[in-house]
Amino acid sequence: MKKILFLLTLITNIQFSNATSPDEGMWLPMLVNRLNADDITKHGYKLSTNEIYDINHSSMKDAIVSLGFCTAEIISENGLLLTNHHCAFDAIQTHSTVQHNYLDDGFWAKNYSEELSIPGQTASILERMDDVTKKVLEGVTDEMSYTDRYKKIKENSKIIEQEASVNGKYKATVKDMFNGNEYYLFVYIVYKDVRLVGAPPSSVGKFGGDTDNWMWPRHTGDFSLMRIYTAKDGSPADFSQENIPYKPKYSFPVSIKGYKEGDFAMVFGFPGRTNRYITASAMAVNLNYLNPAMITLFQTKLETWKTNMDKDEKTRIQYASKYANLANSWKYYIGQNKGLEKLHSLSERQKQEDDFQKWTEASNETKKRYGNILSTLKQTYNENTESLLMATYAQLAGFGSEAGVFSTSVAPLASLLEKPEERKADIDKLITELKIQAKELYKDYNEEVDKQVFAKLLLKYITAFPKEKLPPLVAEILNKNGKTVEEKVIKYVDAFYKKSIFSSENKFNAFIASPKLKVLQNDPSIKFFSALNRYLGESVYPTIQKNNPVIELQKRLYLEALMKYKKDAKFYPDANSTLRLSYGNVMSYDPADALHYNFFTTTDGINEKYKAKDQEFDVPQRLLDLIEKKDFGRYAENGAIRVSFLTNNDITGGNSGSPVINGDGEIIGVAYDGNWEAMTGDMVFDAKLKRTICCDIRYVLFIIDKYAGAQNIINELKIKN
Q: Which residues are known catalytic residues?
A: 86, 222, 656
Q: What is the DSSP letter of 82?
A: E
Find out whether 436 and 517 touch, Cβ atoms under 8 Å.
Answer: no
User: With 0-12 CB in 10 A as exposed, 13-18 as middle and 19+ as buried, what is 141?
Assistant: exposed
Side chain identity, residue 322: K
**DSSP per residue over 445-502, as a string?**
--HHHHHHHHHHHHHHHHHHS-GGGS-HHHHGGGGSS-SSHHHHHHHHHHHHHHH-TT
Closest to 115 in 3D by CA, of 241, 247, 200: 241
Pairing of strands 182-191, 123-131: antiparallel
Side chain identity, residue 110: K
Cα end-to-end span (Å), the chain: 45
Find out whether 365 and 498 touch, Cβ atoms under 8 Å.
Answer: no
**DSSP per residue over 521-580, as a string?**
HH-HHHHHHHHHHHHIIIIIHHHHHHHHHHHHHHHHHHHHHHHHHTTTSPEEPPPBSS-E
Give the contacts of 96 (CB within 8 A, at least 6 positions apart): 102, 103, 317, 320
Rg (CA), the chain: 26
Give the contacts of 644 (CB within 8 A, at least 6 positions apart): 217, 218, 219, 220, 600, 601, 669, 693, 694, 695, 696, 699
Q: What is the DSSP letter of 700?
A: H
Half-sphere exposure (CA, 13 Å, Cβ side) for 40? 31
Residue 505 main-chain phi, psi, to 5 deg = -65, -40
Distance CA 644, CA 159 (A): 46
Q: For the chain, what's the residue count? A: 721
Coil, strand or helix at 230 = strand
Give the contacts of 49 (CB within 8 A, at least 6 positions apart): 32, 33, 36, 37, 40
Q: According to DSSP H, which parts of 310-363 are helical?
A: 313-342, 345-360
**DSSP per residue over 362-418, as a string?**
TSHHHHHHHTTHHHHHHHHHHHHHHHHHHHHHIIIIIT--HHHHHHHHHTTHHHHHT
Q: According to DSSP H, which parts of 85-213 are helical?
A: 89-94, 102-105, 133-136, 146-165, 202-205, 209-212
> Is residue 585 within a helix (H) or strand (E), and if so which, with residue range?
strand 580-585
Side chain identity, residue 66: S
Find out whether 172 and 550 touch, Cβ atoms under 8 Å.
Answer: no
Q: For 243-268, b where at least 16 C-beta lie within 10 A, e where not — what string?
A: bbbbebebbbebbbebbeeebbbbbb
Q: What is the dihedral of CA 510, 512, 514, 517, to 10 degrees?
A: 120
3-state helix, strand, coil in the chain (%, to 5): 50, 15, 35
- A 10 A CB-CB count for 549 gives 15
Find out whether 437 and 405 touch, Cβ atoms under 8 Å.
Answer: no
